[in-house]
Amino acid sequence: MEQGNVFSVLNCQVHHVGYAVHDIERAGKIFTLLNFQKESSVTKDVIRNINIQFWRNQTTLIELISILDGSQKSPVDFLFKKKCSFPGNGMPYHICYVVDGLEQTINQLKKEKFFVIQPPMQAPALENRHVAFLVHNDIGMIELLEK
């Protein structure tokens, strides 16, 4: 497969951009200034140890993610460590793509040098649809959401 055509071949579309934030309520107030409106209540994903809330600005959907319990591990811990610090208390860190055939898409992306950092599992904030997280050295992290 020619590099660069993977997503068009796999029929992917952007679902949301994920932001890691220290405080969802405070971040939400700032996104309100940018004409975003709350799309959902906060979902506590106890398996991943994160809080999630969606916000929308017309056609753009963002996902605010914070750590549920700081004494436990979560998949966003690395974003808040000193070596990965970003100015301020939040940062965008992944784009989520809706895909047909989650496993098929993962297998195709592995051929393009993506590697899985979190295998498919249910996402309570997304109606328990399955999601997976992958990384590529040239673009960073992506999330795949089953259609």
Q: Which residues, including other chains, have CB under 8 Å from residue 47's CB and lie 6 or more apart? A: 121, 124
Residue-range domain boundaries for the chain: 6-146
Please give the model's pTM, rounded to 2 decimal places. Answer: 0.86
For the chain, give the mean pLDDT. 89
Q: What would the pLDDT profile of 83-93 be if each residue is shown by its tens digit?
A: 555 667 788 89
What is the band of 80 on the pLDDT scale with cuts at 50, 70, 90?
confident
Q: Which residues, including other chains, have CB under 8 Å from residue 58's CB and lie 6 or more apart? A: 35
Using the predicted structure, report yes or no on whether residue 1 has a pLDDT greater than 50.
no
pLDDT on residue 15: 95
pLDDT on residue 98: 95
Domain 6-146 grouped into CATH 3.40.50.300: no
Among 33-37, 74-78, 131-135, 141-145, the range scoring the smallest mean pLDDT is: 74-78
42 secondary structure, DSSP code: P
Task: Please tell me the distance from the alpha carbon of residue 68 to that of residue 34, in angstroms, as a whole number.
Answer: 25
Higher-scoring residue by pLDDT: 139, 98: 98
Residue where the block lists tokens 């999630």: 52
